[in-house]
Structure 1
Amino acid sequence: MLYYKDYQLGKDKEWVVFVHGAGGSSSIWYRQIRRFRKSFNVLLVDLRGHGRSKDLLESYVKDNYTFNDVTSDLLEVIRHLNIRKAHYIGISMGTIIIRTLGEMAPQHMKSMILCGAITRLNIRSRLLVFLGHSVKRFVPYMWLYRLFAWVIMPNPRDIMSRNLFIGEAKKLYKKEFLRWFRLTNEVNPLLKYFKEKEIAVPTLYIMGDGDYMFLPPVRKIVQEHEHAILQVIEDCGHVCNIEKPALFNKLAIRFIQYGYI
């Protein structure tokens, strides 16, 4: 089973499950834990190959992963803890895993809060992925990750977020990084399906106004989906929970408690 850390207040409290993105770990939620554990039962998980789940490779012998595989790992922990329903908060590629969970086990979902959400790859991001696949066997994987981090988070205000993600990615094995990178082959058809088929779960998108790659498609999907709302944070990039933690926490908790922002 994956490494996880849980903080439980009691059986009468609601659960909040945090899901990090590719190259990160549960440590990226350090600015949320103290605030959320005051009001909720909290679950943090290190996804396969990441953080303290990095050395659990004997359980994952396949050369390639799918989003269903990664989501099944998360589902195993949820069921192990007997979490019947929870609010799910994800960042970047973690938002795709949460959305996949909504397809696999909607009975476990009470709401989704998707930060820096990936709902479509634009031309620039598709070119970046193509470039990565073309050179991944010939260049150090950290070069690729640094390039991706810089393209997604290019502004001076993104330095802290960018450095945190790069620091976490250094803990990955190269083979593990390549397995995760292959997941990009699934992204476009999966996101197209998610766009066309909304699940009836209250959904809050929290995006930075400077998240130039991913904010425009989120604006479109919110217009089309009945159960989704969008909150854009000013002077903020891709990783809102790190750049604007107080506001992020306030918006997320209000949505969990009242269903609006």
Structure 2
Amino acid sequence: MTPSAITASSDLIAARVLHRDGMVLVLDKPAGLPVHPGPKGGTTLHDHLDALRFGLPRRPELAHRLDKDTSGCLVLGRHPKAIALLNKLFAEGRVGKTYVAVTRGAPEGPAGRIDQPLAKRSPHRGWWMQAVPPGSPGALEAVTDWQVLLRAEGLAVIALSPLTGRTHQLRAHLAYLGCPILGDAIYGGASRLPGGPMLHLHSRRVVLPVTRSGGPLTVAAPFPAHLAETIGALDGDVASLEAAADVAFSG
């Protein structure tokens, strides 16, 4: 099923909640579901927020966003004070984020950091981004840590930790390295290899410093079916790669 064919009911969205407390919801967002209404119309997560109240008088609000075709952990605040705190944590870079991508090709070496500014390609191309020299007009600092988890048959499974939160940062950074994400029609990774044309980018894990005692709140989303199918075709073990991603940036 392609992302454009994705449909979702409020009951199905509510069933995808990974964590719920009085302050925070973490949702396993399906690939293909936009989080905000766009010019083309259609169903978005915004249409289902009332189903995520779970007894509170207000609907929850997004603390950050994921691209339409990116799956996995999406954080929402359940009341104004929580939303303000979460927005602050994300803005200050205090939320740990781990993504997993399948890429066409792989960077050299086992791990590294991409410190490469990004800017809009064109004022007429929406939020499409490109790597630009430091100091270029519109350039924004963008930093991503990466670790290769698996190499096989011209593809790679890579764990990613964005240290900044630029639009399309992971997609543009991997394309800059010459290993675009599989299924990415914008940045050069479109392919009909195992798993189909869907974007192979998943928000695996978030670490939120919101608890008053003990350690931070850590939530992980299982790999979606299309990502697991491709990994299986590469003779990779999904559970082992999920575990490897979870510890990739723990140090």
Relative to its length, the structure with more strand (as a share) is 2
State the TM-score, normalizing by the size of structure 2: 0.30
Relative to its length, the structure with more helix (as a share) is 1
State the TM-score, normalizing by the size of structure 1: 0.29
Q: Relative contact order, CA 8 A, sep 6+: which one is greater?
A: 1
